[in-house]
Structure 1
Amino acid sequence: MTGIEKWIDSHQEMFVGVAADIWEYAETGYKEVQSSARMVHVLKEFGFRVQEGVGEAPTAFVAEYGSEKPVIGLMAEYDALPNLSQKLDTKPNPLIPGANGHGCGHNLLGTASLAAAIAVKEAIERGEIHGTIRLYGTPAEELLTGKVYMAKQGVFNDLDIALGWHPEGVNAVFETSTSAMRSAKFHFKGVTAHAASDPFNGRSALDAVELMNISANYLREHVLPGVKIHYATIVSDLVPNIVPDKASVWYFVRGNNSDVVEQVYQRLVHCANGAAEMTETSYDIEFLGGCSDYMPNRVLNKALWDEMNKIAVPKFSAEEHEFARLVGLYSEENGKRFRESLESAYGVDAHQGDICEYLAPMSDMKAKSTISGSLDIGDVSRIVPTAQFTAVCQGYSCSSHGWQCTSFSRSNIGMQGMIYAAKVLGNMSARLMNDPELILEAKQEFRKKTGGVPYKSPLPDHWKPEV
């Protein structure tokens, strides 16, 4: 057992307390005031230099210890999701009906990164390793803009390596690419009129929205494989006998890379132009954000798997397996698909027990695949070589972004996964500080994949987070 692992074990109770507090706060994106303050307080107690309110985002911070190269960055998230309040229970049971909840486990994610950063700092102080450890407090991951906005500020530019992780139902290196994304609302404005006596004087904003949606649906035939276009019409207080002068629609565009997504997004703008022209209405675009596709680094992934393999993965008690089984009764279909996906990708037996208790092998299939979801760490991976992994904090049958995940995120299962993740992050950071050749190889792969093309933010120059 390394000195980093021993230090984390000896301070485990403190970090479980931090994760539990953040779970209680359950604050959504850019509103994580108590959550970020809780982490900053601990960091300052341990002697970190902390810059708060990075880039005009009050809940973003950068904490640093050390002054030498290399500089290793760890990502911390701590935002919750709306309407996912849940007690620590095996059945749906809101703590506060309608309130927020940690249905993606970010109370665990941020705290494991916090623990790892401090453990590495202690190792630097003991003279075991040399370098700088930096913890990034990245808000609003669920809005897919926190790291993107920080990237636009240049806060990752001087990193040598970035590391991240996420709670999941399997212990594995995250080898897949993710989808790039753009998010925008189109607000149409028309002219009201009585729908019976003088509809000819009206110009319907709702007609414009519906025509835009129709044209966007026809666009689906003419985009590259892997592109996803999804939308939600936003109207309120409409009645049939009034031609509406206001209506909006919210679009997400996803694709395999930022160039493809930008091209499709611009075609979507043409759809809006056509709808406005046909209805004699006008519109404004509220660009909500976007993120780049995640670019895995195979060199780092292999080293990360080695470090994961050196630490015993958590084994769970009969009571914990029963807890996972009972929670999983509410998402059995999700669990079935998840188990099948693990067996297909990794060649493992995922049908034994209710919680994963093994480390999945590296997977060529995963390394060649792109998932349809998006992560804002994609923008970090376009600036600096980046690796991430998943650690078991929930049962096989768990609905992410559901009450089940909120319950797991406060359970012993979640806390054990968090401690395992902290040890992996800490040991990997230490290895990087002791192995300049590994960093050099990772950077060579990074330069080859990017072709020397500099990072371009998907956010427009005027974009700022809504706080």
Structure 2
Amino acid sequence: MTSTKSFVTDYMNKQRGLFEEISSYVWNHPETRFQEHASAAFLANALEEAGFAVERNVAGIETAFVGTFGEGAPYIGFLGEFDALSGLSQEANIAEQKPIVEGGIGHGCGHNLLGTGALSSAFAVKAYMEEHNLPGTVQFFGCPGEEGGSGKTFMAREGVFDHLDVALSWHPSPVNSIMHLSTLANYQVYFQFKGITSHAANSPHLGRSALDAVELMNVGVNYLREHVPADARMHYAVTNTGGYSPNVVQADAEVLYLIRAPKVEQVDEIYKRVCKVAEGAALMTETKLTVKFDKACSNYEPNRALERILHQYLVETGAGSASEEDQQFAKAIWESLNEGEQKSAVEVLKGFGYTGDGTEFEGKYLYDDVSEYIPSDEVLSGSTDVSDVSWLVPTAQCTTATAAIGTPLHTWQMVTQGITPFAHSGMLRAGTAMALTAIYLLENTDELKAIKEEHEKKREKNPYVCPIPADIKPSAIKN
């Protein structure tokens, strides 16, 4: 065991109770995008108590903050998230669906772990810097609104990350690996239609239905699906149906679209075509269309030089071990999955960067290895606002096993496993690997040259343009 690893591991073990407390607090206070007031305050206060200088209300976002220790280069940043998801309220540590609050909020993506794991890295690096009089700056970025809000993209637009030499992050999952795949860029846009009310039986000819416009738009977009790139995605939710009275012609209706594709330019092209479909629906129904841009994010740009170092320390940190109780609970979670979810388990893991074929964990319910690092040009059919950070500064992400094999994100199964001993062990293994990577770069600043050269080479031909227009502000979920 290297002395650095010994230091970080000992630190994590001694502070485990603190980090479990932080993670559990965030889990027990789930909040959706840009409303994470309790979680943000708890994390920011923990930073201050640990000796970080904390700046709140970063980029004009109430729940965004930055904790800083040290001064001067190199600047190492850890990205933390802490928002939850609507409709995923769930009791902890049980293998059956049982909401705490029916229709309530829950941590179905493990962001209570994500934010706390990144925080543990920042704490450990600070402790090491103090012990060894190491120059440089370590920062924790409290990044709100990842789920449907692209908080980091708004922060990137305001230059929050521009000064960093590297950024590190991670994500809870059922596997230990480097998240080396690119992701889908996206736009999220509201299409609002305004019509004329009327009695639907006595004078329907006098009405102009906004709901008809929404339905016609959705039909048109469904026909458009055949004529976009195969890996593009168009999702929608009808957010306003115009009321509950079928005998009234609905004068107001709204649909929210999430458009994804491998590159921002492709998203923009599809978006413009979707707008034409919406205009056609408004023309057919003689309604007025308003297009309201909500948010966007870019595709993720991995940095292979930084990923190799992070993988080295992920391997050195190891996969840990699971108790018999962990194994039994994981088995019960596996059995709660439907047949399709079980059959898709390996594909889910590949989305997190797993490079095997699944044979090594047949008959197991918890992953007990570290996946080999084999970079790929494949694209993950998902999106993250970490992407916009990756366009600005060299960025790498790992993932560690915090849940049973096969557990899909955004499910009650993910929520119920969110504060188990196994989940917290995985969280601290991610924290350890990221901390070791940061310390290595602080002590070997020459390694930053190759990392930065790779990043700058990509950016020469593809300069970053924030996909969110300057006049758009972060928005909370509509109730």
Report what 1:346 is aligned to. 356
1:397 maps to 2:406:
yes
Q: CA RMSD in A?
A: 1.7
Contact 1:331/1:399 (8 A) holds in 2:
no
Q: CA deviation at 1:128?
A: 5.5
Q: CA deviation at 1:163?
A: 0.5
Unaligned runs of 5+ in 1: none
- Find 2:124's aligned residue among 105, 116, 119: 119
Moved more, 9-18 or 227-236: 227-236
Moved more, 442-451 or 150-159: 442-451
Q: CA deviation at 1:94?
A: 2.2
Matched residues in 2 for 1:78 and 1:104: separation?
A: 10
Q: Which amino acid aligns with 2:343?
A: K
Matched residues in 2 for 1:32 and 1:238: separation?
A: 32
Report what 2:468 is aligned to. 459
Which secondary structure does the structure 1 equivalent of 2:225 belong to? helix
CA gap 1:214/1:91 in 2 versus in 1, 3 angstroms: closer
Report what 1:327 is aligned to. 333
Which secondary structure does the structure 2 equivalent of 1:322 belong to? helix
Q: Which amino acid aligns with 1:274?
A: G
- Find 1:438's aligned residue among 432, 443, 447: 447
CA gap 1:193/1:340 in 2 versus in 1, 3 angstroms: closer
Report what 1:50 is aligned to. 54
Report what 1:30 is aligned to. 34
What does residue range 1-400 of structure 1 map to in structure 2 within 5 Å? 1-88=5-92, 89-127=94-132, 129-234=134-239, 235-333=241-339, 334-339=341-346, 342=349, 345-348=355-358, 349-364=360-375, 367-400=376-409
Matched residues in 1 for 2:226 and 2:99: separation?
A: 42
Q: Which amino acid aligns with 1:350?
A: F
Contact 2:327/2:366 (8 A) holds in 1:
yes
Contact 2:34/2:145 (8 A) holds in 1:
yes
**What do the CA deviations read for 1:39-88 (whole angstroms, capped 9, x no partner)?**
11111112111100112211110111111211011001111112222222
Matched residues in 2 for 1:430 and 1:456: separation?
A: 31
Report what 1:411 is aligned to. 420
Q: CA deviation at 1:254?
A: 0.3
Matched residues in 2 for 1:142 and 1:257: separation?
A: 20
**What do the CA deviations read for 1:254-311 (whole angstroms, capped 9, x no partner)?**
0001111011111111111122122221011222211111111111111111111111
Matched residues in 2 for 1:236 and 1:56: separation?
A: 33
Q: CA deviation at 1:238?
A: 4.1
**What do the CA deviations read for 1:18-41 (whole angstroms, capped 9, x no partner)?**
111111111111111111111111
Matched residues in 1 for 2:278 and 2:186: separation?
A: 19
Unaligned runs of 5+ in 2: none
Which secondary structure does the structure 2 equivalent of 1:451 belong to? helix
Q: CA deviation at 1:400?
A: 1.5
Matched residues in 2 for 1:233 and 1:240: separation?
A: 16
**What do the CA deviations read for 1:304-356 (whole angstroms, capped 9, x no partner)?**
11111111222101111000111221114323312366589324523131100
- TM-score when normalising by structure 1: 0.96
> How many residues of Structure 1 are paired with residues of Structure 2 in the alignment?
465
- TM-score when normalising by structure 2: 0.93
Q: CA deviation at 1:399?
A: 2.9
Which secondary structure does the structure 2 equivalent of 1:243 belong to? coil
Q: CA deviation at 1:449?
A: 2.0
Which runs of 4 or more aligned residues in structure 1 lie more than 4 Å from their structure 2 counterparts after TM superposition?
Answer: 340-344
Matched residues in 2 for 1:187 and 1:221: separation?
A: 25
Which secondary structure does the structure 1 equivalent of 2:450 belong to? helix
Matched residues in 2 for 1:335 and 1:390: separation?
A: 20
Aligned-residue sequence identity (percent) comes to 36
Q: Which amino acid aligns with 1:345?
A: T
Q: Which amino acid aligns with 2:106?
A: G
Matched residues in 2 for 1:304 and 1:126: separation?
A: 23
Which secondary structure does the structure 1 equivalent of 2:436 belong to? helix
Matched residues in 2 for 1:236 and 1:200: separation?
A: 18
